[in-house]
Each structure stands twice: as structure tokens, then as C-alpha cells.
Amino acid sequence: MVLQRVSKPKTHKGRKFLENREPKIEENDKSAMFIKGGNTSQTVTQVLKEMYMLKKPTGIMMKRKNVVRPFEDQSTLEYFSEKNDASLFLFGSHSKKRPNNLVLGRSFDHEIFDMVELGIDSFKSMFDFRNDKCSQGTKPCVIISGQDFESDEDYRKLKNLFIDFFRGPKTEKIRLSGLELVINITAIEGKIYLRTYRTVLKKSGAKTPRVELDEIGPSLDLTVKRTKYASDDMYKRACKQPSEAKVSKSQKNKSRTNLGDQLGRIHMQKQDMDKLQVRKLKGLKRKKESKDEESIGNSKVKRMDDE
């Protein structure tokens, strides 16, 4: 695709880079920014660090001080999103009014789409669990439980945000024995419990193994504070599916033979055999035209002559 830009990229690499950032039918995996706020406590810093470790191949850590208040001014976050080509973000800050504060959100077309403020009630680091961790960059299984995630409208949106944030890279095939990481999000009585596990597959006597979970951390207890969800109009725009991605109707009249030739079945009207042109022979010549036709022919010639 030719870039619609006034200033052309100077190098092939630059061109590829820009093309990668253009809107596509099949989108890239969303990457997440982990942004440290102006003031952070040790807890918040550690949470950001460990969340970054969970997301690592598609994560960007911004560990300098960023004096931003996402719910008051979104422009900085939008700028970061455009600059880094990342649509998910986790912002951490700490203040007297809002201690140990996280803002989880995402953007659409470099505009803030939705964000949720989460207060950290308790946090247990992955280094507090003394056991084997899972390998980096594995696609996590996401488990979401709790009635609230089904019944409450705001929680339903939050659930979608959690899925988007944690689901990892899109794949068509997956190695079954490589399913290591499980992220569990449970909503009970207005609190959200986020737990991370490593799977241990055991023999069950059947084909499917018995799953045991080993908690590896980080584990967080969160409370939802301020929220900002996308307007219906924006949600509709963001959920638009490309016509190419929709499943096309199967064509019934096309088939393939075993040799790979394509066959098509078409319906035609019966052929008129009288008008069929076969091999030209003198004996098959048509009889002389009738008198009427001759006269018409002559008159035509005459008229031509007159002119």
C-alpha cells in the first residue's frame, strides 16, 4: 500500500515502520504501556513492574516520572499512545487522597476509549511466592468469575477491558503442553481479586489432564473507583468489523476434482441446433434468398447509389 503522506519515508526500513502502524484489516497485537505517575509508592512501582513482566513482549515500561492525571487531562496519555503505537495502558500513582492508585485503560485510534481507576488494597509480589515461574511471553488463559461480571453493566465493560488487556497475542494454533499461565479475575462483593497461577498438568486416566494450579504472583486485591467508559457511538465505531473479515457465503456451484481442477456448474437454456454452425461445405449451402429479400436488398443498393 502506498502511504498517503506528504513527506515520504527516506529509507525502506522507515517505510516498513510506518506501514506497520497504519490501520489494517487484521490488526497487530495490542501493546501495553506501563506508565509511572508523578508520585508512586513502592507497591505501585512493583505492581507496574510485575504487570510489565506478565505482558513483556508487547509491553512498554515508562519508568520516569510522568505527572499526569488521566481523569482530568487525557491529552498526555493520548500522545503516549500515538508515540508508542500502544493502545493499552496501566498508569500507577500514589497520593494522600488516592493511595496506591492504578488506572487501567485503552485507546481507540489514539483517543482514550475507556479507563478504570483501581485502588490496590493488598498486593503480594511474585517474589513472595517461592516457586517456579512460567516462561516469558506465554499466552495466558484468562478466567473471569463472579456474577457481577454478567449482571452489572459497568462490570461487563470492565470485563471486556480485562480480557483485552490480558489475552496476549492472537494465535491460530497453540501448543497444549505450553499452556502455563493462568490469570484469574474474580469479583466478589465490590472487590476484584486478581491472581496469577502456573498450571501443573497431572495424569487423570483420560486424554484430558487434571489441572492443578500453583500461585506464582502477582496477586492483587482491587477496588473500583472512578470510571470513564466509551460512549455508545464510539463503542459502535470501534467494534465495526471489516467486510473482508466476515465469513462469506459458500458458493454452491463451485467444486474441485481430486486432481485439483476447479469445476463450476452453470444453468443454460436449451441450445438451438438449427442455428448451430458446423463445418462449412458447398453442399450444405443455404438456398437462394427469396424474392422479397432480394427486392429489399436491391432497393437498399439503389438508395445508396442515389446518394
Partner 1 sequence: MADLVESILREEAEKESKYKTIFVEKDADVEIDEGNLLACDPNPIDVKLFKSNKDDFINNLARDNTQLLFNQLWMLPVERVDNTVLAKLPKAKTLIPREKRLPKPRPETKWEKFAKAKGIHKKKGKDKMAWDEQHKEFRPRYGYNRANDDTKDWLIEMKSNAADDEDPFEKRITERKERRAKNELQRLRNIARSQYGGKVPGVGLTPVEKPNKDQLGRALVLAKKSTASLGKFTERLPKEKNTVKGKKRKFEPCVGDMKKEKDKQLRILKTLSHAVPINVAKAASHFMSQEPDERYVFYTKF
Question: By C-beta, is 2 or 266 nearer to partner 1?
Answer: 2
**Does 53 interact with partner 1 (rule: CB under 8 A)?**
no
Find the helix or strand (DSSP H, E) in which 77 lies: helix 75-84
Least distance from partner 1 to the Cβ atom of residue 131, Å = 14
Residue 55, all three cell numbers:
505482558
- Number of residues interacting with partner 1: please give it, by CB under 8 A: 73
Least distance from partner 1 to the Cβ atom of residue 247, Å = 9
Q: Which range of residues in 32-40, 129-137, 229-237, 255-263 is near partner 1 by CB under 8 A? A: 229-237
Please select the residue that binds partner 1; options are 202, 275, 279, 288, rule is CB under 8 A. Answer: 202
The strand pair at 262-264 and 219-228 is best described as: unpaired
Find the helix or strand (DSSP H, E) in which 301 lies: helix 291-306
**Does 232 interact with partner 1 (rule: CB under 8 A)?**
no
CA atoms within a 13 Å half-sphere pointing along the CA-CB vector of 30: 20
Name which of residues 160 to 199 contact partner 1 (CB under 8 A).
160, 163-164, 167-168, 170-177, 179, 182, 184, 186, 188-189, 193, 195, 197, 199
Q: Residue 35 carries which side chain, given as an amino acid letter?
A: I
**Does 258 interact with partner 1 (rule: CB under 8 A)?**
no
Least distance from partner 1 to the Cβ atom of residue 20, Å = 12
Which of 6, 15, 3, 67 lies closest to 39, judged by CA? 67
Question: By C-beta, is 116 or 142 nearer to partner 1?
Answer: 142
Is the CB of residue 104 less than 8 Å from the CB of residue 116?
A: yes
**Does 289 interact with partner 1 (rule: CB under 8 A)?**
no
What is the dihedral angle through the alpha carbons of 123, 128, 132, 133, rounded to the nearest 10 degrees?
A: 30
Please select the residue that binds partner 1; options are 20, 131, 136, 145, rule is CB under 8 A. Answer: 145
Measured CA to CA, the distance from residue 25 to residue 234 in angstroms comes to 18
**Does 227 interact with partner 1 (rule: CB under 8 A)?**
no
Q: Which range of residues in 18-26, 53-61, 250-258, 277-285 is near partner 1 by CB under 8 A? A: 18-26
Name which of residues 64 to 103 contact partner 1 (CB under 8 A).
87
Report the DSSP beta bridge partners of residue 242. Answer: none
Which of 114, 111, 123 lies closest to 47, judged by CA? 123
